[in-house]
Amino acid sequence: MIDMDKDTPAAPTSTEEDQAATFRMFMADIQQKLEAGEKRLQIPNGTLSNLHREPDYIMVIKIIATLEPTVNDLIAGGLSKGGGLGGVPNKITFAPVADFAADRLQLSGRAGKLELAYRLGMLDNEDVAFAGAVSAIRNRYAHNITNASRRLIDLVREAKKNDANLARKLFYGDNMDFEGMPNGFAKVMLAWSFSRFLESAELRLHVPKGDFLGGLLGLAGRDEDEAV
């Protein structure tokens, strides 16, 4: 006689089914936001929407390669929405500034693109912190070829030794515990954070924001702000 209790898998509980449904909705939300980013950047479908399935190194490189043009768009948008000098629209007067920022400024740093976009009101502190944290992980991949095959979670743990707040930066304020975290889960959460950054950018690109004087002159006053 077959022991059904032994050979038949237990039916999932309602709690397990609810958790599975919630996770599917979570993943669908990430994919929707990443697909919106693909559409805005006019890149092929699937370039971003399956990020968590990419090799770890490729995932991080794709995120950075998307952050750069997105931040460029935010800077140009912030400059064009500030009202202009003497009634002249910023999109005309300051187009060379946007071009200079896109071509010459680094993504991170005190006088980088992220800081300028923040000063223009096109990014908030959490957006800047996330992009800076991803840039730090990218550097670990890009500057040492031996890291190219390493897992994301291992490089994140190493980077945290130099930045105790890395978890909060990567996951928009959630201080998640990296110890014991599965690599696959870390990649899903990174995709979620990235989708949140893109969503934030989309909203700001379609809402009149930006203060060109605050952006341009704010960079010069950064030292004074930190000294207060």
The pLDDT profile of the chain, 228 residues, written as one tens digit per residue, is 445 445 555 555 668 788 888 888 999 999 999 999 999 889 998 899 889 999 999 999 999 999 998 998 888 888 776 544 334 444 444 566 666 666 667 777 777 888 888 888 889 999 999 999 999 899 889 888 888 889 999 999 888 888 888 888 998 888 788 888 899 999 999 999 999 999 999 988 875 444 444 444 445 555 555 544
Cα separation, 119 vs 210, whole angstroms:
8
Instruction: Find out whether 34 and 1 touch, Cβ atoms under 8 Å.
Output: no
Question: What are the structure tokens assigned to 150, written together?
Answer: 């390493």
Q: How far apart are CA 157 and CA 81, in angstroms?
A: 40
Residue among 131, 88, 104, 90 nearest 215 (CA): 90
CA-nearest of 130, 126, 187 to 155 is 187
143 alpha-carbon distance from chain centroid = 20
Q: How far apart are CA 83 and CA 81, in angstroms?
A: 6
Q: What is the pLDDT of residue 209?
A: 44
State residue 117's pLDDT score: 87
Taking the C-alpha atoms of residue 144 and residue 147, their distance in angstroms, rounded to an integer, is 6
Interacting residues of 174 by C-beta distance below 8 A, sequence separation 6+: 167, 168
| pTM, entire model | 0.74
Check residue 103 and give its pLDDT: 64
Query: 3-state DSSP call for residue 120?
Result: coil
Backbone angles phi, psi at 85, to 5 degrees: -95, 130
